[in-house]
Every structure is written in structure tokens, then in C-alpha cells.
Amino acid sequence: MTGIFRSIYSHGFVRAAVCIPSVRVADPIYNAEHTLGLARRASEMHAAVALFPEMGLSAYSNDDLFHQDALLDATVVAIGKVVEESKALTPVLLVGAPLRFEGKLFNCAVVIYRGAILGIVPKTYLPNYREFYEKRQFAAAREAVAREVTLLGQRVPFGSDIVFQASNVRDFGIHVEICEDVWTPVPPSTFGALAGATVLANLSASNITIGKADYRRDLCASQSGRCVAAYLYSAAGPGESTTDLAWDGHALIYENNELLAESTRFSADEQIIASDIDLERLAQDRMRLSSFHDTAGDYRERLREIRQVEFEFQIPEGEIGLLRHVERFPFVPNDAALRDERCYEAYNIQVHGLMKRLASTGLQKIVIGVSGGLDSTHALIVAARTMDRLGLPRKNILAFTMPGFATSDITLKNARGLMEALGTTAHEIDIRPSCLQMMRDLGHPFIGGEPVYDITFENVQAGERTSHLFRLANFHDGFVLGTGDLSELALGWCTYGVGDHMSHYNVNASVPKTLIQYLLRWVIGSKQFDSATSEILQSILDTEISPELVPHDADNNDKPAQSTEQKIGPYELQDFNIYYVTRYGFRPSKVAFLSQHAWGDKTHGGWPAGFDLAKRNEYDLPTIKKWLGTFLFRFFKTSQFKRSCIPNGPKVGSGGSLSPRGDWRAPSDSEANVWMDELKNNVPD
């Protein structure tokens, strides 16, 4: 991390603004004033780049007026004004203008930063069909002979083969193209991205017709996704000529196929939209995406020709908070429709995985330990749906609840109720006698009546359960269904080997705890099972999470002695940490910065349904730092050996499978110092 903690610019973000000024046709002085008005606002917002529409300084809809010298001269004067004022502004300004070079007229983007013109990019693909006549007035980029031109006394690079690269901000590279360029099969920005640009900007003057807005969104989303880049798009707005066409002022900011900001279309007022581009996220994804670099290799001759124009970016100072939304639950989308879709997918992936395994083994029975906790409950309902799909009776699920020294009445009641409600073959085995036998063999002080509840005491119970389950599977011709989830695996919160770590097939291995919680809510809400089952599921959701391996007070049976979240941290924070550390490889200070943004204030919107205000948590920075430290130490230092040998199970989400055969291969004997030190040194207490 460089700079102060509370600034986006210390965490790999740059702020992008897309502006839709009000224009007048053929009135460059008016247009320059309005361009500058929005440029000043972008600067006050600490933006690093501000994009304006195609030929915004002259207006786009001039038709043959473009061949009038008075208009072209006045446009150059307008550029001069913008260049002059840009000295005091923070963003790189991307403005559109018709410009004469080599006796031809080009439809250009002028790239201006702090009083300098960094370069001029002519449009590559001039539309000349239907309502477009650009070839009548303009020459295309390929017709240019010179690679440099002079404008306002400045000798500057000219061409569509330029990446504007900040020399002092890693991965801040801008490529510029103009409207139709992105409508083509091979947009110039594709090469810009392959040559290192992360911010692709499009100055557009797209007229509006019915249905076109969706098409623009698709184009920008897919270009940003394919290029693993940000895509900024600015269409012309109020004031363009409506002689034959209309204009809706459509501004868009995408990052890697995700919409970050969008203007209000058909606004009579000028607009500015802004969001923060996560350059590090893009760089991380590109680093992983081997096919991105294979493509660059295939086009290396062309990419070698691309000019890298460097500039030193003056990083805005002071505290600059994040402008974009960060989901509190990266595994549980805030948007209701998306969330339902996610639950449907996750649930069906799990069912599909288990169906295939049952079919291929030829076994028709599943053996499962049912604790009345979240994970085994979810695994059990996946098993029930799997039996339904295969046309097998649910009685083929051999469900065992196995109370031990610390089982509470409520979880036992829920376990019994659930096994029955789902129509499984329900059994109960008291594991205490076999645990006592093992502890006698070990010489454990508990046998002498001492209340010693150490790791051995805990693991003896988890081990006895697993041992029973595996032998029951042999005995009944079935296999053991694993229940441990992704969050437990990330934190090493399971008993290794002969314990809940092991099974024949684990449907939950790639499902984080927060998603399991939400999946159960979804199963209730979408009425996957009858109302008796749903009632029990709700009671399970309402019970505190505990491994129930340490006995509770005799007079407080409902309160577990062990609260998992008091020991390893709130799962909602740890799932956040898992996502950003494993999916993106972010350094701890960045994860803490994002976490504070998401979790620092519970009154902000964006909570999934079912979270009433009383149940919402908020966490201050010291708390976030503390639990992130717990996560980092457990994840990098102590628990990889558990992940290095886990049972088979389907990958469910992009945010993670921690299987070494899935997408996490790591040494079991690494150090955690670099993560712990980075957290300690860069996150304020």
C-alpha cells in the first residue's frame, strides 16, 4: 500500500467520470464552457479521468457544416481553452473535436492532461450506412500518414495505436476509441487492452432509436469483459440537432462485465456519472487468465507497434472514500432476482454432483450425520432432493443423529424433527460410551472426573462420529456424505482425518457459510419442501453456531459453551475475507479498506432480504483488523494441510473451491508473515 489508508488511490483504484454536457450545434465556445463546467466538477470529485462525447466541442450533428473553416477554427480555439484550464484540474480529459491534418478532416479524441495535449486519436471506423454519412466529411485513422501532428504549438502523437500510460500508477493505462469503433467485430480497444490499457474509453455520439440502449449496454459490458478492463462510454446528450435524429445522453461505466454507473437517459440537464475502477482487480484477473496473454502473443507484431505515451499522474491527496458499492456478502448478491438465481444454481450444482456420484458408484444409500446445525441440514436437503431426482426413496438416506457430551436439547430436537420431516431412515447413536472408551485408552483426565475440555476431548467426539459413519456405510452399502463448508475449510475449523474433515463425497466443500445460511432461507422461501420441514429449518437458522464439542453449563442448556464465531470471528466477515483474498489475491490492507466500506455502517442500504435492522451488524476498523488477522494466520499458516487432502465435491462458485484439484493449490508449510506484517503496518488501529 502507498499513501494514506483512507484513500481509494492507496488501494489500486482510480476514479473515472463520464460527462454529458449540454451542447449547441456549431457553437464551440458555448460547448467549451460546458465541457469545462463538468471537467471542474470531475476534478472536485478527485477523478483521474473524465470522458466527454464524440465531437462534443463542435457538436456531432453538424453534417456539412463540418467543412466550414469558421467552425473548425473556433473548435481549435475551444480546445485551447480546455487545455489552458486543465492545468488546475485533476483528471485526464478526453474531449472530442473535428481536426484538420494533412489536408484531411479527422473525427478526433484529444487527450489533455494538466496543460499538455498527450495525444490525438482519430476515429478508426467511420459509419457510412443508413443515417450515418461520416465518410462524406471525414477521413479515417488508416488514411493518416504522419504519426505525429502539431496542435496549438504542441507536437503530439497522432493515431489510434496509442496507450496513455501513467508512469507512476501501476496498471493505469488509457486507450481511446470513438463510437462506431466498438460496433465492429474487432474494436481497436481490443488491441489497446492487449497492449496494457486497463481503462478503455469511448467518445460516442450515438443517436437513440428504440432498443438501442440495451444493445449499447451489451456492447460495453462484453468489451469490458473480454478485455478484462473498464469500459467508459459517453453518448451525446441535450442540444444535438434533432433535424433527423434524437439523442439520449447515455453514459456508462463498466468494469469486467459489471455495470458500475449509468446516467439517466433523456435528461434535459447535463450529467456526470462517476465510479472507482479497481485496477488491481483487473490486473489480478489478467494475470490469472492465461488465454488473455496467449491472445497478446498471437498479435505481438501489431502490439509491438502500439505506442506507450507516458505521463506522470498527480495523485489527488487526502481522504477519498470509495464511490462504488461493495457487497457485504460477496457470495450472496443483494439483488433479489440475482440472489434467487444464485441459490437455484448452487443448489442444483450440489444435487447434480451427488446424483452423478451415486449413479457411478452403483450405491443407492447415503449415510449422513445430522447434528441439527446448518451444514448437515443443508447437506441433508441436498441428499433428499437428489433421491427425488433419481427416483429413489428418501428412506435410502440413512440419517444418524449422534448426541455427545455437549449436544443441546434444541439441536437434538431439530435434528430428530428434520430427519423425520424429510422422510429419511432416522437413527440415534449415543457416542458417549465409545468416546469414554477411547479416552480411557488415552488416559485422558476427563475419565477421572476432571473437566478437561481440550482439543483431544473435542476431536475424540468428532472422530467417533466419523468412525461410526464410515463403518455404517460399509455395513449398509452406502457412502458417507460430507457436510463441512468452504468457510470452515478456509479457517481449518474441522477435525482432520478421522473427523468431520473426511467423507466419501462432500456437497458443501465449495459453499461458504453465508451462502448456506441463505440457501436454507431460499429453500424455505421457495417452498422446496413442506411447511413442517420449513419450520424446523427456520429454527436451525435461528440457533447459534457451535461445534457442540464442549459441554455447556448444566443450568443453561440452550447456550452452547463454545461459540464458533467468538473463536474464529463472525462468518460474515470471514466470508468477505475469503472472497477477496482467494478470488483476487488482494493484500490485507485493501481487504480491510473494502471491508470497512461494506461493514462500517449498518444503516447503508444493500442488505439481502430477511435482515431486519436489529439483526444487522456493523464492524469498526479495529474489529475488522482483528478478525482479518485471525483469518490470515489460520489460512496461510495453520490450515492448508487440511485443504491439501479433501474429499471430492463440486465447485459451486467463482469465489472459491479450496480443493487442490479445483482452484486452490498451495503448500501446507508456508509462512504467514508477509500477510500479517502488511496488515499490522498498513491498517490503522
Ligand X SMILES: Nc1ncnc2c1ncn2[C@@H]1O[C@H](COP(=O)(O)OP(=O)(O)OP(=O)(O)O)[C@@H](O)[C@H]1O
Which one, 35 or 411, has the nearer CB to ligand DND? 411
Neighbours of 137 (CB within 10 A): 16
Tell me: does residue 493 bind ligand DND (CB under 6 A). yes
CA gap 253, 331 in Å, rounded: 23
Indicate which of ligand GLN, ligand X, ligand DND, none lies near residue 495 (CB less than 5 to 8 Å, by partner kind): ligand DND
- Applying CB under 6 A, the span of 197-205, 269-277, 488-496, 514-522 interacting with ligand DND comes to 488-496
Q: Which of 27, 85, 161, 180 binds ligand GLN (CB under 6 A)?
A: 180
Residue of 520, 547, 549, 563 lying closest to 380 (CA atoms): 520
Phi, psi (5° rounding) for residue 7?
A: -135, 135
Q: Where are the beta strands (DSSP E) in 21-91?
A: 49-51
d(CA 685, CA 683): 7
In this complex, which beta carbon is closest to ligand X, that of residue 138 or of residue 400? 400
Nearest partner of 382 among 336, 343, 414, judged by Cα: 343
Which of ligand GLN, ligand X, ligand DND, none lies near 669, with the C-beta cut-off 5 to 8 A by kind?
ligand DND
- Residue 150 contacts residue 107 (beta carbons within 8 Å): no
179 sits near ligand GLN (criterion: CB under 6 A): yes
What, of ligand X, ligand GLN, ligand DND, none, does residue 662 touch, CB below 5 to 8 Å by kind? none
Annotated binding residue at 370?
yes
Q: How far is the CB of 483 from ligand X (least distance, A)?
A: 3
Our measurement of the distance from residue 191's CA atom to the centroid of its chain's CA atoms, rounded to an integer in Å, reads: 25
494 is in an annotated binding site: yes
Q: Which is nearer to ligand X, 309 or 550 (CB)?
A: 550
Q: What is the distance between the alpha carbons of residues 333 and 380, in angstroms, rounded to a whole number?
A: 24
Residue 180, binding choice from ligand GLN, ligand DND, ligand X, none, Cβ under 5 to 8 Å by partner class? ligand GLN
Distance CA 537, CA 559 (A): 19
CA atoms within 13 A on the CB side of 396: 18
For 274, the 3-state DSSP assignment is: strand
What cell numbers appear for 86 in the block? 486543465
Q: Tell me 229's DSSP state.
A: S
CB 437 to ligand X: min, Å:
18
Q: Does 458 bind ligand DND (CB under 6 A)?
A: yes
Rule CB under 6 A: is residue 133 a binding residue for ligand GLN?
A: no
Q: Binder to ligand DND among 64, 244, 450, 669 (CB under 6 A)? A: 669
- Please tell me whether residue 459 binds ligand DND under the rule CB under 6 A: yes
> Is residue 453 involved in binding ligand DND (CB under 6 A)?
no
**CB of residue 50 vs ligand X: minimum separation in angstroms?**
49
User: Is 123 marked active-site?
Assistant: yes
Q: What is the spatial distance between Cα 443 and Cα 546, in angstroms, rounded to a whole number?
A: 27
Length of the chain as a residue count: 685
Longest dimension (CA), the chain: 102
> According to the binding rule CB under 6 A, does residue 177 interact with ligand GLN?
no
Give the helix/strand (H/E) hosting 278.
strand 271-278
* Least distance from ligand GLN to the Cβ atom of residue 292, Å: 27
Using the rule CB under 6 A, is 292 a contact of ligand GLN?
Answer: no
Rounded Cα gap, residues 120 and 112, in angstroms: 9
Residue 561 CB, nearest approach to ligand X (Å): 13
The conformational region for residue 13 under phi > 0 = left, psi -120 to 50 = alpha, else beta, is: beta
Indicate the pairing of strand 13-20 with strand 271-278.
antiparallel
Question: Where do contacts with ligand X occur on this chain (CB under 6 A)?
Answer: 369-371, 373-376, 400-403, 407, 465, 483, 500, 545, 547-548
Residue nearest ligand X (C-beta atom): 373
Partner whose binding site includes residue 492, from ligand X, ligand GLN, ligand DND, none (CB under 5 to 8 Å by kind): ligand DND
Tell me if 242 sits within 8 A of 211, measured CB to CB.
no
Amino acid 221 reads A
Instruction: Show the DSSP H helices in 579-635 as ranges.
Output: 588-599, 621-633
Q: Is the dihedral of CA 515, 519, 520, 524 positive or negative?
A: positive
* CA–CA gap between residue 324 and residue 593 (Å, rounded): 13
**Which window, 179-187, 246-254, 511-519, 529-537, contacts ligand GLN (CB under 6 A)?**
179-187
465 binds, among ligand X, ligand DND, ligand GLN, none (CB under 5 to 8 A by kind): ligand X
Our finding on whether 25 is near ligand GLN (CB under 6 A) is: no
Q: Which amino acid is at 607?
A: W
Read off φ and ψ for residue 171, nearest 5 degrees. Answer: 65, 20
In angstroms, give the least distance from the CB of 51 to ligand X. Answer: 48
Q: Annotate each residue in 404-443 with x if it binds ligand DND (CB under 6 A) or - if it does not, as one string.
A: ----------------------------------------
Nearest-10 Cα torsion for 5, 9, 13, 18: 130
Q: What angle, rounded to 10 degrees, do the helices at 571-578 and 588-599 form?
A: 130
Q: Is 299 annotated as a binding residue?
A: no
**Annotated catalytic residue within 19, 54, 280, 464:** 54
In this complex, which beta carbon is closest to ligand GLN, that of residue 205 or of residue 274? 205
First to last CA, the chain: 16
Q: Counting contacts by CB under 6 A, is residue 489 touching ligand DND?
A: no
Cβ atoms of residues 235 and 253 within 8 Å: no
From the list 80, 100, 137, 183, which residue makes contact with ligand GLN (rule: CB under 6 A)? 183
Catalytic residue of the set 19, 108, 179, 435:
179
CA distance 138 to 105: 5
Does position 564 interact with ligand DND (CB under 6 A)? The reply is yes
Residue 127 sits in the site that holds ligand GLN (CB under 6 A): yes
365-369 vs 162-166, strand pairing mode: unpaired
Tell whether residue 124 is among the known ligand binding residues. Answer: no
**54 forms part of the interface with ligand GLN (CB under 6 A):** yes
Rg value, the chain, Cα: 30
Binds 483, which of ligand DND, ligand X, ligand GLN, none (CB < 5 to 8 A, cut-off by type)? Answer: ligand X
Report helix, strand or coil for 96: strand
Q: Does 645 show up as a binding residue in the annotation?
A: no
464 touches, from ligand DND, ligand X, ligand GLN, none (C-beta below 5 to 8 Å by class)? none
Residue 652 Cβ, how far from ligand X at the closest point, in Å?
16
**605 annotated as ligand-binding:** no
33 is catalytic: no
Query: Please, are residues 421 and 449 in contact by the beta-carbon 8 Å criterion?
Result: no
Q: Which does 374 bind (CB under 5 to 8 A by kind): ligand GLN, ligand X, ligand DND, none?
A: ligand X
Nearest to 212 by CA among 186, 177, 236: 236
Among ligand X, ligand DND, ligand GLN, none, the one that 367 touches (CB under a kind-dependent 5 to 8 A) is: none
Q: How far is the CB of 238 from ligand X (least distance, A)?
A: 55
Residue 186, classified by CB atoms within 10 Å of its CB into exposed (0-12), middle (13-18) or buried (19+), is exposed
Please tell me the count of residues contacting ligand GLN according to CB under 6 A.
8
* Using rule CB under 6 A, residue 525 touches ligand GLN: no
Residue numbers at the binding site for ligand GLN (CB under 6 A): 54, 127, 132, 179-180, 183, 205-206
Known binding-site residues for deamido-NAD(+) equal 459, 488, 493-496, 642
Give the active site residues. Answer: 54, 123, 179
Known binding-site residues equal 129, 206, 212, 369-376, 459, 483, 488, 493-496, 642
Residue numbers at the binding site for ligand DND (CB under 6 A): 455, 458-459, 462, 488, 492-496, 499-500, 547, 549, 564, 641, 668-669
Known binding-site residues for L-glutamine equal 129, 206, 212
